[in-house]
Amino acid sequence: MEHNCPHCGAPLPEDASFCPHCTQSIRERQPLKIPSHLWRKGLKWVLALVLILAVAGGLYARFGRETPSAGLPAGDTTAVILEEDENGMVTVTPDLLREYFPLLAGLNFSTTSTTSDNIDDYLMENLQLANLVASRGSYGTDEERGMFNARSSGTRLCLLMFDRNTHLMGYFIGEPVQIEDGKWQIDVVSCDYDFTELYEEQLAAFEENWAADFSTYIPPEEIESSGAVWFLNGYNTGKGPVLREDDAQIYHLWALLHSPEPERQCREIERLEEFLPNEGRWRCYLLLDKDYNLLGYTMLDYQGNGG
């Protein structure tokens, strides 16, 4: 019996399984019947996979995603002229900067090895944030000053200026430019950057575990036998042999210890005497073993004596 292609109508040879004219199959396709127990098993695997992906996505959102960088705030620049003394030292004071920025309340000025493009990284290593955390927000740096040796090549500087405790009004990060003998220029960027959130985050993390890091005191006479190979250097802010809870150097040392690369800030224990405080002050040092594990802390005065 002659029959035609259901797709194009062309006559088909007997027992044809496809049309030689349009190449379409002429056999009816039967739906594949999957046993119900296999269907249920496959559904369970699909649901399990969806659940795993959802959990993984949540964990990534909570822990795997990096905090967005604050960057370096943009703003107008002001050329600030600095003069070196007869010893080649350049000092930056609040009064000098107020000639350019009358609303200045406090500043931090020091050398830095940080090369980040995130302003928060510079804030976290400076005295302003250390004072704020130590005082629980009561005070910042006020009339602090800073200096650098103009005769040391490749000096990288960080100047941070504040008009309120948690508000950055300007900054300079980089190397100064010599414009003539004894005179240097830094181009300060004016900005409007509130770092209250950064302060609150650091305070919460600090209060959670700082006490454990400062629970073991190592007397100076026991440093040699303690196994200390490295040390982290505190501030020149101690006022006695007992480490006070409101001393800014506690936060400073805690932040160094818990930074991504604390070994970058460590110095050999043999150099400890090079970093003694000024007369009348006490400095705290965190002592670490050869693998950079914390051993404890010690306090030294300007002569290297303990309390």
What is the per-residue pLDDT across 37-77, written as a single tens digit (0 to 9) for each? 544 555 555 455 545 554 444 433 333 334 445 699 999 99
Domain carrying residue 271? 214-300
Residues 238 and 282 in one domain: yes
pLDDT at residue 182 in the model? 95
Give yes or no: residues 188 and 288 share one domain: no
Torsion angles phi and psi, residue 239, rounded to 5: -110, 10
Asked whether residue 21 is assigned to any structural domain, the reply reads: no
Residues 93 and 139 in one domain: yes
| Domain termination residue (choose one: 199, 231, 252) | 199
Same domain, 225 and 164: no
What is the number of domains present in the chain?
2
Q: Measure the CA–CA gap between 132 and 134, rounded to whole angstroms.
A: 6
- Tell whether 183 and 81 lie within a shared domain: yes
> What's the pTM?
0.73
Residue 32 in any domain: the answer is no
- Give the amino acid at 199: Y
Q: Is residue 207 part of a domain?
A: no
pLDDT of residue 2: 54
Q: Are 194 and 98 found together in one domain? A: yes
Contacts (Cβ under 8 Å, ≥6 apart) of 226: 218, 287, 295, 296
β-strand pairing of 177-180 with 157-164 = unpaired
Domain-embedded: residue 43: no
Is residue 153 domain-shared with residue 243, that is, in the same domain?
no
Q: Which of 141, 166, 199 is the last residue of a domain?
A: 199
Note whether 244 and 158 are same-domain residues.
no
Are 82 and 109 in the same domain?
yes
52 vs 261: which has the higher pLDDT: 261
Domain annotation covers residue 24: no
Alpha carbon distance 282, 126 (integer Å): 19
Kindly report, residue by residue over 126-139, the tens digit of the pLDDT.
999 999 999 999 99
Question: What integer is the mean pLDDT of 152-166?
Answer: 93
Res 152: pLDDT: 86
